[in-house]
Structure 1
Amino acid sequence: MRMTYCIVFVESDTVPPPLYWHSNLEAVRMRWFGFGFNAFGQVYVGGRVNDDDTANEVKVITPIELTCNVDGSCRTNISGLRASWSRRATLHSNGTHCLSGFNAASGICVTGFTDVIVGESFLILAFPDRIESWDLDNDRKTPVWRMDVKTPSDGTGTPPNLPLISDGYIALKPPFYRPLSPHLKATRLALGAGHSVLLSASGTVYAWGLGSHGQLGHGGLLYEEQPRVVEALWGMTMSCVAAGGWHTVCVSDAGDMYVWGWNESGQLGLPSHVERKTGHHPTSQEIADLSSYKETPEGEKDKEVFTISIQAFPALLDVTPSCDIKMVGCGSRHTAAVTSAGDLYTWGWGQYGQLGYETPYSDEPRCVEFFREQQMRVVDVTCGTWNTFAAVVKEEVAAS
């Protein structure tokens, strides 16, 4: 029996409406779609996607428009979204927030917050003057941790988007607050399973934490305690960073995409042992055994097929046909990218439909055709651990 809980937060009217601005400055309202792992209702709230197919209760392959209520309301006022493995937090411009998924404690009721991140045990809320952490594993009516924050010195009056805050960043596990050196001047931060990737105001990328799968981009597999610049990208201005479980992706101002880290499911978009050689998710020993595997089209083991398990330095990844990348998102073992033309490409592990098309793995970026077919332009993407969420606007069709 599946249990789904929903919690609604009421806040002040400080969240901007979910509008996307075209080049002609006409505002168009965004709609959000989700696909992938749905065992706890974090994509589809309120029941099965298709009552005739119980498998769809666990996975959603075709993108479905997000709602907060079973009756289909709250479709068009989502202004932001955060996701973890079993939960999805949506921010709404009408003054509410909704947490969907596993064990969402129903007793949390607060007002006035401006941002949220959600994990498996804790919910982090950002206010103009403080940060609070709420324990999702019990029904206590007060936060388990809170911290006052300073007003940014740049005069904006509000702290940067979570997980960044003034003077540091917030993690989803204790200790919740981690300090950062002021000289970094961080503008964006992405947190992986055990590593962190920071983008500075100058477009420089720093990485630290666990490096066992090459996810830091420093060329080795060692742990880094302090932020260290990714030297292979030095001199190139980056505009976006994303961190998966054990891989990292960033995008340059010129629209080029760079990838590094673990590639066992093809999540880097580079040739993968798994994609080429197996039909199931491998064990670590199977991955090691495949490193010497050779095969010809006739099945003879005498022709080596080039594959990559770990990419410890940033590698330039091209999407075919050639296009500029605007933003990226990373799940545990999959990646999603939005192009300047408004297309969504995904690759990596797809066992639960998180790629938006039917395949267990893909080591090549493939377009999610659903949005093209529906004449929708993708303008934003965020990934949960095993799912993907995309914000879209309706394409303008020229009159004949």
Structure 2
Amino acid sequence: MRWFGFGFNAFGQICVHEKLIKGAGSDVAEEVKVSSPTELIRHVDRSGCCLKTSQIKASWSRRASLHLDGDSCVCLAGFGAVISTEPCGVSAVESHGCKDAFISESYLTLAFPERIESWDLQKRDNTPSWSMDLEAQSQSSGPLLNLPLVPGGYIATKPPLYRPLSPNLRAKSLALGGEHAILLCATGAVYTWGLGSHGQLGHGSLTSEDEPRAVEALWGMPMSRVATGGWHSVCISDGGDLYVWGWNESGQLGLPSRGLRKALQQQSSQQAGGLCQDATASPGEEPQEGEKHEEVFISIQAFPALLDVTPSCEIRTVSCGSRHTAAVTTAGDLYTWGWGEYGQLGHQTLLSSDEPQRVEFFREQQMRVVDVVCGTWNTFAAVIKEEVARS
């Protein structure tokens, strides 16, 4: 399995440029913005052997690569670790044997079979900022919960790092947004809490919630995956349908965005020398005679909406950046939409889009996408070589 990245690269999270290695300024646009999928350089262990990346976790300035083959460990790329093959603030010995990782802008959390540790990435301490012993867990309790979930609660992006959760929720997975959270229960129910100012909680209002509250619009439809960005949330049903809600300012919900359409129209008009006319009606303009439908723009979607990414296949997995979204279909295609000014949509442009578009690079290279992970302003995709049917 190979990993590719595209988008924000100011700290070398995707690829390390010569100027970054030499410590020169990173003011060159082509070094900050990677618009075409670029394969990640593999980390090597102390013996010089290449490590196979099993998972990617990303924050705004860093990327954590989790290597689970052989002697498992975590390596960081990005801020503070541009040319280092070892994790920033965590030595190879200290991450040796870890089974999962979770990274925020300030903390790296590592899950070991017997303990969980959170390290402050702003410091060079020899001890973790927080730790939890897992000796009390019996083997019958099942596998270790996926980070940021931990037994009895979850790891937050800022102190207090440990936050308790009611055992009645039967938590299966958890995603953390800018200031809100979305939880998937073992029953398939979805709960959200935190800031609700952009409709990101999916309760039909813009109010915040201090405690987990069920998303009633999804009640009775079991979900299999959840993800969240800065101010939007998404989930996948057991049937492979994708539901979206929250802020749509940059088209991150895949729904028509007035601001984005106007920006694209202005750009097209400038490129055409001002000869291109506005194709959409202005707010005060009456529909022309015979016009049946007026386009509806969505700024905030306060309750879940079904998004038809592609009619030909189901959605396998999904991930969210700050203001963009990426989804992998069961056919192995990657679709992206939303804010694209750093190339994080992978369409080899810096354009944004409020419509899901397939990343043609992987299809052209005969690659099948199997996983996707969004950083705040970038995207990482895991691929395998597409098997060509023999005639």
TM-score, length-normalised on structure 1?
Answer: 0.82
C-alpha spacing 1:250/1:74, structure 2 compared with 1 (3 Å): farther
Q: Is the Cα contact below 8 Å between 1:48 and 1:56 reproduced in 2?
A: no
Aligned to 2:110: 125
Q: Cα offset for 1:132?
A: 1.3
Q: Cα offset for 1:158?
A: 4.2
1:310 and 1:300 map into 2 onto residues whose CA distance is 17
C-alpha spacing 1:344/1:48, structure 2 compared with 1 (3 Å): farther
RMSD: 2.6
1:84-103 matches, within 5 Å, as 84-92=59-67, 93-95=69-71, 96-103=73-80
CA deviation string 1:104-157 (max 9, x = no partner):
475522032221111211111112222211111122222122222355567256
Match of 2:30 among 56, 75, 83: 56
1:106 and 1:168 map into 2 onto residues whose CA distance is 26
CA deviation string 1:333-385 (max 9, x = no partner):
00000101000000000000100011431000000001100111111111100
Match of 1:314 among 287, 301, 304: 304
Aligned to 1:384: 375
Query: Is 2:70 the counterpart of 1:108?
Result: no
Query: Is 2:68 the counterpart of 1:77?
Result: no
C-alpha spacing 1:56/1:75, structure 2 compared with 1 (3 Å): farther
CA deviation string 1:194-235 (max 9, x = no partner):
111000111100111110000000001111011110000000
Q: Is the Cα contact below 8 Å between 2:89 and 2:123 reproduced in 1?
A: no
Q: Is the Cα contact below 8 Å between 2:252 and 2:324 reproduced in 1?
A: yes
Q: Cα offset for 1:172?
A: 2.1
C-alpha spacing 1:195/1:107, structure 2 compared with 1 (3 Å): closer
Aligned to 1:138: 123
Q: Which amino acid aligns with 1:101?
A: G
Q: Cα offset for 1:101?
A: 0.5
Aligned to 1:35: 6
Q: Is the Cα contact below 8 Å between 1:213 and 1:312 reproduced in 2?
A: yes
Aligned to 2:261: 276
2:331 and 2:224 map into 1 onto residues whose CA distance is 17
Q: Is the Cα contact below 8 Å between 2:252 and 2:338 reproduced in 1?
A: yes
Q: Which amino acid aligns with 2:172?
A: T
Q: Which amino acid aligns with 2:370?
A: V
2:19 and 2:315 map into 1 onto residues whose CA distance is 34
Q: Where in structure 1 are there 5+ consecutive unaligned residues?
A: 1-29, 281-293
Q: Which amino acid aligns with 1:60?
A: V
C-alpha spacing 1:316/1:152, structure 2 compared with 1 (3 Å): farther
Aligned to 2:150: 165
1:372 and 1:101 map into 2 onto residues whose CA distance is 28
C-alpha spacing 1:299/1:48, structure 2 compared with 1 (3 Å): farther
1:363-378 matches, within 5 Å, as 363-378=354-369
Q: Where in structure 2 are there 5+ consecutive unaligned residues?
A: 21-26, 82-86, 266-276, 288-293
1:312-351 matches, within 5 Å, as 312-351=302-341
Q: Cα offset for 1:274?
A: 2.3
Q: Secondary structure at the match of 1:278?
A: helix
Aligned to 2:15: 44
Aligned to 1:229: 214
TM-score, length-normalised on structure 2?
Answer: 0.84
1:241-256 matches, within 5 Å, as 241-256=226-241
Q: Secondary structure at the match of 2:184?
A: strand
Q: Secondary structure at the match of 2:140?
A: coil
Identity %: 64
2:364 and 2:116 map into 1 onto residues whose CA distance is 42
C-alpha spacing 1:152/1:336, structure 2 compared with 1 (3 Å): farther
Q: Cα offset for 1:273?
A: 1.6
